[in-house]
Amino acid sequence: MDWLFDNAAWVRRALNAWPPFWGAGIKIETLSDDFRYCRVTLKSRWWNKNANRTQFGGSMFAMTDPIYPLMLMGYFKNRYYVWDKAGSINYIKPGKGKLVAEFNLSEGKLAEIVAATEGGIKYFPEFEVTVQDGQGELVAQVKRTLYVRAKPEHRGE
């Protein structure tokens, strides 16, 4: 699977065609070549609205689901196992119109992961991302906990 994360543009296009994203109105607008920045949007469509005619909370949560794991897999290539472990969402206000979430991997967070997984130790880094509406107002706060572990051939034991 080394080839899978060779090209960020290809990964972006593939995910945008993925039925769970496409059907929910989720789109990866930007994925940087180094996989350290990602901008995801959620369109408001009649089929992804809730009973109150605002964005369905499950779609807001889904727009954040695979992003950090995929960014880490793209950045580290094939050296680590990366999975989503846990997640929670705090809804602040109803989401109306197009929603946006921006994801960043800082140098500090990447260095923290490398140091914490040295020798094959499992690590559970936490990430936070906000979902905002078109006016930049906070709609939801999402917390994600990942499972990260160096693959045996990259553990340096």
Higher pLDDT, 28 or 51: 28
CATH of the domain at 99: 3.10.129.10
> From edge to edge, which strands make up the β-sheet containing 26-31?
26-31, 37-42, 99-104, 126-132, 138-150, 80-91
Band of the pLDDT at 88, cuts 50, 70, 90? very high
pLDDT for position 2: 59
- At 88, list the tokens: 């929670």
Of 123, 101, 120, which is closest to residue 110 (Cα–Cα)?
123
Domains identified in the chain, total number: 1
Identify whether the C-beta of residue 138 lies closer than 8 Å to the C-beta of residue 130: yes
Residue 126 φ/ψ, nearest 5 degrees: -110, 140
pLDDT for position 49: 77
Domain that holds residue 46: 2-154
The rounded distance, in Å, linking the Cα atoms of 100 and 25 is 12
pLDDT digits (tens, 9 = 90+) for 31-70: 999 999 999 999 988 777 777 888 888 889 999 999 999 9
- The answer, yes or no, to whether residue 103 has pLDDT greater than 90, is yes
pLDDT digits (tens, 9 = 90+) for 104-149: 999 999 999 999 999 899 999 999 999 999 999 999 999 999 999 9
DSSP strands (E only) in 19-96: 26-31, 37-42, 80-91
| Mode of pairing for the β-strands spanning 80-91 and 37-42 | unpaired
The rounded distance, in Å, linking the Cα atoms of 68 and 37 is 10
Identify whether the C-beta of residue 15 lies closer than 8 Å to the C-beta of residue 70: yes
- The answer, yes or no, to whether residue 78 has pLDDT greater than 90, is no
Identify whether the C-beta of residue 39 lies closer than 8 Å to the C-beta of residue 116: no
pLDDT digits (tens, 9 = 90+) for 3-12: 567 889 998 9
